[in-house]
Amino acid sequence: MRYLESAVTLEFLPERCVGCGMCAKVCPHEVFRIENKRAVLADRGACMECGACAKNCEHEAISVRAGVGCAAAVLNGMVAGTEPTCDCSGNSSCCG
């Protein structure tokens, strides 16, 4: 599932990034990548707004309106008759 790139609430302030790599580690959709010891937005449109990256960034380089994507994933699951399909249910540092 992808969102319209312009509709994603994810914001990244590269000047605050220290390159710890947590965002890339916790993101279930590989939205962030570490390049030259800094995070870069590799695929912003793949963000499903779970909030894991912002929650795990100690330097407040990331903001996102969390929850919208997870709600959509739950609704998708209901329509399809499956479990929620946000791909992050197995990652304890993700949703919540």
CB count within 10 Å of CB 93 equals: 12
DSSP 5-41: GGG---EE-GGG-----HHHHH-TT--EEEETTEEEE
Contact flag: residue 73 with ligand SF4 (CB under 6 A): no
Contact flag: residue 70 with ligand SF4 (CB under 6 A): no
Contact flag: residue 19 with ligand SF4 (CB under 6 A): yes
List strand residue ranges (DSSP E) for the chain, in order: 11-12, 32-35, 38-41, 62-63
User: Which of 3, 11, 15, 17 touches ligand SF4 by CB under 6 A?
Assistant: 17
Give the rounded distance of the alpha carbon of 34 from its chain centre: 15
| Binding track over 38-67 against ligand SF4, x by CB under 6 A | -x-------xxxxxxx--xx-x-xx-x---
Contact flag: residue 26 with ligand SF4 (CB under 6 A): yes
Contact flag: residue 23 with ligand SF4 (CB under 6 A): yes
Locate 28 and state its tokens: 């279930």
- Which residues of this chain interact with ligand SF4, rule CB under 6 A? 10, 17-23, 26-29, 31, 39, 47-53, 56-57, 59, 61-62, 64
